[in-house]
Amino acid sequence: MTTATEPLKAKDYKSEIPPTWCPGCGDYGVLNAVLKAFADLQLDINKTALVSGIGCSSRFPYFVKTYGMHTAHGRSLPVGAGLKMARPDLEVVVFSGDGDGFSIGGGHVPHVARKNTDITYVVMDNSIYGLTKGQVSPTSKQGMVTVTTPYGAPDNPVNPVAFCLTYGATFVAQSYSSKSKLTQELVTKAIQHKGFAFVNIISPCPTFNKVDTFDSYKELVYDIPADHDTSDLNAALQLAFEGKNSGRVPTGVLYQTQKPTLVDKLNEIRKKANGSDNFDMNKIIEAYKP
């Protein structure tokens, strides 16, 4: 039995709900690594909130003992950002799929990134819509045959890491669900980072994506070289695009920098608006009364 003084272990963050993913789904690897990251950080279960959209990957909060919000498809980021603004004391970690995050929810990413909203964003990228049984997704490769693209996907795929780098995310990393230790390390670093931290995790869907399989990724996934300068945005973009052009998947931290977070900036505005450290909402409401 765990007493209050004993450090929490990964299993202590597991909820009583067993994961409902298909056997062999990459998301199991992500869950196990995330639970270990939470234990590494000794996150307070009562002060951590997981927010997700809709998709197989978005079931994530059910399987973790912290607070969780399973929101609407594509809306995990604005809900997570709103929660962080209202309760800056909470650790907010948002979980999405490639469809949830970069198709219907793609319009939210630039704004959460450019505002440096202090949340962690984990995307489980399987290059398919898993929950709805195998439709093309924004990260499906050009030419990929799916139930909605019987003649091959006609469009250029989104590059999630380049997307987030371009819009000003202050921490951008990539992992692969079979690289458990790396995923654990990257999620830990992302949560420790002050500002918007994005981790794209390649997480194969063996049920509906027969192209991007665990076997195919064996040849494609590689470690970012140790001499990569994570403070160099151009070098990070080069890595992101090299990966996209060759089909290879660089894993590790692509970029990290420090900038004021959304909460820092709001506090500054509050000080200016109020002329003091104490923000008085009543005064503002009074000023607008006829």
Ligand X SMILES: Cc1ncc(C[n+]2csc(CCOP(=O)(O)OP(=O)(O)O)c2C)c(N)n1
Based on CB atoms, which residue is closest to Mg ion, 207 or 267? 207
Give the separation between CA 23 and CA 145, rounded to whole angstroms: 23
Left if phi > 0, otherwise alpha if psi is -120 to 50, otherwise beta: which for 261?
beta
Tell me, what amino acid is at 201?
I
Q: Which residues from 128-187 bind ligand SF4, rule CB under 6 A?
A: 130-131
- Are 176 and 249 in contact, with CB atoms under 8 Å apart? yes
Q: Which tokens in the block code for residue 69?
A: 């919000």
Q: Which tokens in the block code for residue 254?
A: 């692509």
Please state the closest distance from residue 122 (CB atom) to ligand X, in A: 12
Q: By CB under 6 A, is residue 253 in contact with ligand X?
A: no
Considering only 60, 95, 129, 198, the residue that binds ligand X (CB under 6 A) is 129
Angle ∠(31,9,185) on CA atoms, nearest 5: 55
What is the full DSSP assignment across 226-272?
TT--TT-HHHHHHHHHHHHHHT-EEEEEEEE-----HHHHHHHHHHH
Based on CB atoms, which residue is closest to Mg ion, 216 or 238? 216
Q: With CB under 6 A as the contact rule, which of the stretches 19-27, 33-41, 74-82, 216-224 interacts with ligand SF4?
A: 19-27
Q: By CB under 5 A, is residue 97 in contact with Mg ion?
A: yes
Q: By CB under 6 A, is residue 25 in contact with ligand SF4?
A: yes
Q: By CB under 6 A, is residue 60 in contact with ligand SF4?
A: no
Q: By CB under 6 A, is residue 205 in contact with ligand SF4?
A: yes
Please state the closest distance from residue 215 (CB atom) to ligand SF4, in A: 15
Q: By CB under 6 A, is residue 55 in contact with ligand X?
A: yes
- Are 236 and 256 in contact, with CB atoms under 8 Å apart? no
- Residue 89, class by beta-carbon neighbours within 10 Å (0-12 exposed, 13-18 middle, 19+ buried)? exposed
Give the separation between CA 123 and CA 181, rounded to whole angstroms: 17
Q: By CB under 6 A, is residue 207 in contact with ligand SF4?
A: yes
Q: Which residues from 142-161 bind ligand X, rule CB under 6 A?
A: none
Q: By CB under 6 A, is residue 126 in contact with ligand SF4?
A: yes
Residues that bind Mg ion (CB under 5 A): 97-99, 126
Residues that bind ligand X (CB under 6 A): 54-57, 73, 97-100, 124, 126, 128-132, 137
Residues that bind ligand SF4 (CB under 6 A): 21-22, 25, 27, 56, 126, 130-131, 205-208
